[in-house]
Amino acid sequence: MSFQAYIDTIKTKTGLDPADFKRLANEKGLLADGVKAGEIITWLADDYGLGRGHAMALVATFKPEKMARSNQGEAVAKQFAGAKAHWQPVYESLLATLADNGPVDVAATSSYISLLKGTKKFAIVAVTADRLDVGIKLKGAEPTDRFEPSGSWNSMVTHRVRITAADQVDSELLGWLAKAYEAA
């Protein structure tokens, strides 16, 4: 079932759309810091008879407001644990510079950090002890020795830049990221 099909079924079953549910969840305090998705799912099941898949579709619509922010600091911190810690100032500097283009949000997984313009991913950052890999989503851009095709490294981006020293976060890299941000 597609995401839109879940939303359509919810509207048919309850008469409410995602904005209605978001308002109700906020009124119940379910969008506050520390509230887990499971609590929202339980509420939707108990009060509206929604199954897990339908409830998760609604939770996904809440993410831009609250849910995505709840554990991002922790998830980002894990990316820079141990031998990777020396890369955190480089990453933070990169984010601060990218903010000159406009608001940049982050969404961390266990293996990389997505850089977002609104809800659109324009780049990712993956950290190892020896390297900071920056994946850039820039369709149609010609690769170079440094701006290589992402290949099998990560299919969500088109190019990859391997950073082995802080000074490699330079105007060339920032230019590619600015173009990707603009294109998002």
Q: Which helix (H) or strand (E) holds 87?
A: none
C-alpha 118, offset from chain centre: 9
Quick one: pLDDT at residue 65? Answer: 46
Quick one: pLDDT at residue 153? Answer: 92
Contact 149, 139 (CB under 8 A): no
Query: Would you mind telling me the total number of residues written for the chain in this entry?
Result: 184
Q: What is the rounded distance in angstroms from the CA atom of residue 87 to the CA atom of residue 111?
A: 15
Q: What is the rounded distance in angstroms from the CA atom of residue 95 to the CA atom of residue 106?
A: 9
Quick one: pLDDT at residue 71? Answer: 52
CB atoms within 10 A of CB 31: 17
| Binned average pLDDT, 10 residues per bin, the chain of 184 residues | 75 93 92 81 93 80 53 79 92 86 85 90 96 96 95 94 95 95 94
Question: pTM for the complete prediction?
Answer: 0.63
